[in-house]
Structure 1
Amino acid sequence: MADHTGAADTEALHVELVAADRTVWSGDAAMVIARTTEGDIGVLRDHAPALSLLAEAVVEIQVEGTDDVVVAAVDGGFLSVANNRVSILSEHIELGEDIHVDKAKAELEEARGLIGANNEAERRVRRAEARLRAAEKVSSGPGH
């Protein structure tokens, strides 16, 4: 049965980006946008519980009470939503601000050159594309 006490009305949406070896980012958010294997998902406070497989793509987190947006490249993984908590779990997560655009472009071109060699090459391309999009979003955002 749903809780109608109003307690959830003041609870912030807490988000954690967790890679295999560390917590990459943790904080309160107004909104999270992620790409799942089924398509894009937007998560706001009081979102219904969900568990989704993530695609190799960009995750955007609108930080609560600011104009700041955290942009990260994820290497697939899982998105879990429950009780105003969002957990994004992936073997590799890189914040867009930590990715050098020119290096990401070079890695993408190298990965594209390997397509057809094996399935891992296609996965490398998707990962490189996600890294480049994350880096470009950060470098083209406000104040950059």
Structure 2
Amino acid sequence: MWNSLIDKQPDFSHEIVVSNARIRLKDKKLYLHEMTEFMHTATRILKPSGILALFFNARDAASWKFLKEVIPSSDKLQFRGLFPMNYSANSVVQDNRKGGLKNDFVLIYQKPGNEDKIKLEFLENLPNWSKEIPNINSKSS
């Protein structure tokens, strides 16, 4: 979406994702490494009270568990909550595939600091807002 707004073509080689497409070379091990690096960098460069909105989804419990573990510490970056957003690959096959993803989530993190400057109460009014990471029981990857 962002690339569309600024009229840029995305470079998918830099995308942090797990892909079954062999040509992309995007496996789970690389994903975990790149996400860890990203979260540490985001934590370091966010200003006090800075907000990180992360678009995320996964079918497996391990990926969601990873999000809980990758945060360096609660005094450096805090999970504030999430809300679902509609997802569609614009493909009848993908949209109807068993186990296909139906929603992406926007996860909101905030670096501690002058919380009175940036209040997040308005998020609680969003449909399906939750302060809990989903409990995913699937073991697929």
Q: Structure 2-normalised TM-score? A: 0.26
Q: Structure 1-normalised TM-score? A: 0.25
Greater per-residue strand proportion: 1
Greater per-residue helix proportion: 2
Instruction: Compare relative contact order (CA 8 Å, sep 6+) and give the higher one, 1 or 2.
Output: 2
